[in-house]
Amino acid sequence: MKFTDGYWLIKPEYKPNYPMCAYEAEPFENGVRIFCPFREQEGRGSTIDCGLLTVELTSPRSGVIRVNVYHFMGGLDNIPAFDIYKEETETKLTIGEEKIEYVSGPLKAVVTRKPYGLAFYQDGRLLTESSFRNLAYMQHRDGRNFLVEQLKCSVGENIYGLGERFTPFVKNGQSVDMWNEDGGTASEIAYKNIPFYLSSRGYGVFCDTPEKVFYEICSEKVSRVSFGLEGERLGYYVFAGPEPMDALKRYVALTGLPALPPEESFGLWLSTSFTTDYDEKTVMSFIDGMAQRDIPLHVFHFDCFWLREFHLCDFTWDSRIFPDPKGMLARYKARGLKICVWINPYVSQKSPMFLEGKQKGYLLKKPDGSVFQWDRWQAGMGLVDFTNPGACEWFRGKLKALLDMGVDYFKTDFGERIPTNVRYFNDADPVAMHNYYTSLYNQCVFDLLKEVKGENEACVFARSATAGGQRFPVHWGGDCSGNYDSMAETLRGGLSLAASGFAFWSHDMAGFEQTAPPDIYKRWAQFGLLSTHSRLHGSKSYRVPWYFGEESCDVVRAFVRLKCRLMPYLYGAAAEAHFTGAPVMRPMFLAFPGDNNCLPLDKQYMLGEKLLVAPIFNEDSIGEYYLPEGKWTHLLSGEVREGGWHREHYDYLSLPLFVRENTLLPMGTEQNRPNYDYTKGLEVHLYQPADNASAACTVPNKDGSPAMKVEVSRCGGTLTARADLPCTLVVHVGEAVEAKVELPAGETKIEL
């Protein structure tokens, strides 16, 4: 939302009110409250007919400062709030005649008294600032009021994040509204709006409300990130770095670290697809077909029409197609499969659940007390009111029956089409609930899975999200199309989501809409199986690989097996995400903050800390990618490349997939399943060991705790290896395997 008409003028329908000075400051608890009038104070008469803003500075964690700006404070207390995870932190407050300083860990906020301004520093370096007339209370002539902040964006500074956005990866120049919508992957509309942005200068900013926050990123004022909302309070947090990853970790720690998904969920998921015709015979033909072609399969997903038409969502199997669901699921599980079923929080009028929900008051209501209904998606459907504890238990009870039947995971679809002309059980503001609804929905389902299945066994496959949603993995990228443009926009969305604090992410391999040609199917399968989670799913056609040619079977087989072998490494990266908030799929600027070439890169990523993946987005089979400085070894061919830009041809069994130099990469020998004892038969591959340097890797247990650690250091031609348990060390020097040594537990010397 823009308030100005060029640089000099304000749009005529708005009246601006700016804090002109920091008139008075008073300490409170662990913070300071500053009173900032809209007029310079030259005497007692200046206080008459003069409004002011109250600015509060507090700190919930070290290196994090919260800014809370109020105009009127007498409004209803009905805005839902994100869960915030605080910790004890020491702060320092200095109130001077010219400025006010507030320090939390490495982050310092400085308020200038006259004229009012607010700047943030780390180690003496300016991160960003709100200067004179950047903070404003804007009054529209129609009676609406807005609070707006403008923070400095320096020369060469890039802004990232704000959710899973499919527009350009670098957000500079864009206008973005925080409003969840079901809009596919080809527009500015997003399923997952996260009011957090990350700067290439190594700080982050989080607007702490699910309300409709608007952003102008170097678009209204080209040297400012403007954000605000309609209302009388604006709150935001600033996160210190010094690097972008540090700021991101601080943000995730504040809003909630992600759960650790079960190992099986990292394997290959196969779906019935959406509107296809299927029954138990069809599903078994898919499962048998994968086995006959020796393609490992780990999760089978039933999409919408495991339910009867016009009955979505009553959680009852369509008995015409599936007369014995419990027996059927037992037969599938005997094949070693996990089972996922599609659900959503909407209840069609034809479903028996509708009258039950109406009678018990479990559905959203209109202001007059009647049930809110519409025909979008399902005829006459209502929506579950997750602010009602009874409704949550009712919903969980329906899902618990499915878990008892043999279901393992739920695909928590939808959650974006939430009306605003409704009344909630807890009287929450319905506009603010629009984005927040998905948080309650996914938490309700995830907590049930965690309760029934246990720690590290809960997994959803969610589409919508808001801040804090990273706690409930996994999320997928929504309705993409079967072409290279959509494949690229999908990756942009995933990298943008990673820069917004989400560690685990997936997408529909080969696209949801349309049926991709074999070329795209094979390239997207490579990309999908080098994402944290991998699902074959479509709309009107099946996605089994043999429908796309036998070579597609070869590609899927090869990359599923590769992913299974990489699980000691991938699950270690997942454990790191669980404990620290570092995303598994990392934008290049996060992994290499000192390399300016990485700032705009959105067609490649780091998978964990050590593997670089550059999917191929063209039918010419050309891989174009950038390697940061150093020696990089192709994981599949062993070829070595120096840092810089590269352009090469790759067949369908390969793509740019490189290991950083001085990497100790743990790989398993199990290639058919993702869940196994990663310490048994373990190979640790040492790539391009640097002299007088060391490399290490940690192999996790199921709960993410360390199962074993291996360290290798090099001094000249001698390697010193230390392993907690026996394993095999494979040393790659140049393009050759220099040594392959069986390491016992303890220390071993190896001569190269």
Angle at 650 between CA 646 and CA 655, to 5 degrees: 75
Looking at residue 557, its amino acid is R
Cis? peptide before 583, omega within 30° of 0:
no
CB 82 within 8 A of CB 208: yes
* Set 413, 457, 513, 602: catalytic member: 413
Instruction: Report the DSSP beta bridge partners of residue 513.
Output: 481
Burial 160-181 (b: 16+ CB within 10 A, else e): bbbbbbbbebbbeebbbebbbb
Determine the angle formed by the axes of helices 430-453 and 389-405, rounding to 10 degrees. Answer: 40
Residues 6 or more apart whose CB falls under 8 angstroms from that of 201 comprise: 127, 128, 154, 157, 241
Beta-carbon contacts of 550 under 8 Å, excluding residues fewer than 6 positions away, are none
Cβ neighbours, 10 Å, residue 184? 18
Our answer to whether residue 83 is catalytic in this structure is no
CA trace torsion 576, 578, 581, 583 (10° rounding): 70
Cβ 380 vs Cβ 373: under 8 Å: yes
Cα–Cα distance for residue pair 313/345, rounded to 1 Å: 7
Question: What are 669's two structure tokens?
Answer: 């020998």
Q: What is the CA radius of gyration of the chain?
A: 27
Which is the catalytic residue, given 216, 429, 479, 519? Answer: 479
State the residue for tokens 């080809």. Answer: 186
How many whole angstroms separate alpha carbon 606 and alpha carbon 585?
6
Q: List the catalytic residue out of 182, 303, 408, 416.
A: 416
Active site residue 651: no
β-strands 338-343, 299-302 pairing: parallel
List the 534-536 sheet strands across, edge first: 409-412, 338-343, 299-302, 268-271, 534-536
Tell me the residue type at 567: M
Closest CA to 263 of 532, 585, 605, 445: 532
Which residues are CB-contacts of 214 (< 8 A; sequence separation ≥ 6)? 1, 175, 176, 177, 178, 227, 228, 229
Among 748, 669, 678, 741, smallest CA distance to 711 is for 748
Which tokens sit at 320? Answer: 């015409």
Sign of CA dihedral 670, 673, 678, 684: positive
Q: Are 221 and 152 in contact (CB under 8 A)?
A: no
What contacts 331, CB < 8 A, 6 or more positions away? 284
Largest CA distance in the chain: 88
**Known catalytic residue: 309?**
no
Instruction: Give the burial class of 8: count Cβ atoms within 10 A of its Cβ; 0-12 exposed, 13-18 middle, 19 or more buried.
Output: exposed
Cis, peptide link before residue 313, omega less than 30° from 0: yes
| Token duo for residue 421 | 């002309």
Q: What is the DSSP letter of 360?
A: H
Phi, psi of 741 (to 5 degrees): -130, 135
Distance CA 479, CA 486 (A): 10
Distance, in Å, from the CA atom of 108 to the CA atom of 122, rounded to the nearest integer, reads 6
DSSP state letters, 120-160: EEETTEEEEEE-TTTSEEEEETTS-EEEEEEEE--TT--EE
CA dist., res. 111 & res. 297, Å (int): 58
Q: What is the 8-class DSSP label of residue 404?
A: H
What is the helix (H) or strand (E) element at residue 396, kind and residue range? helix 389-405
- The kind and range of the H/E element at 281 are helix 280-292
Show which residues are catalytic: 413, 416, 479
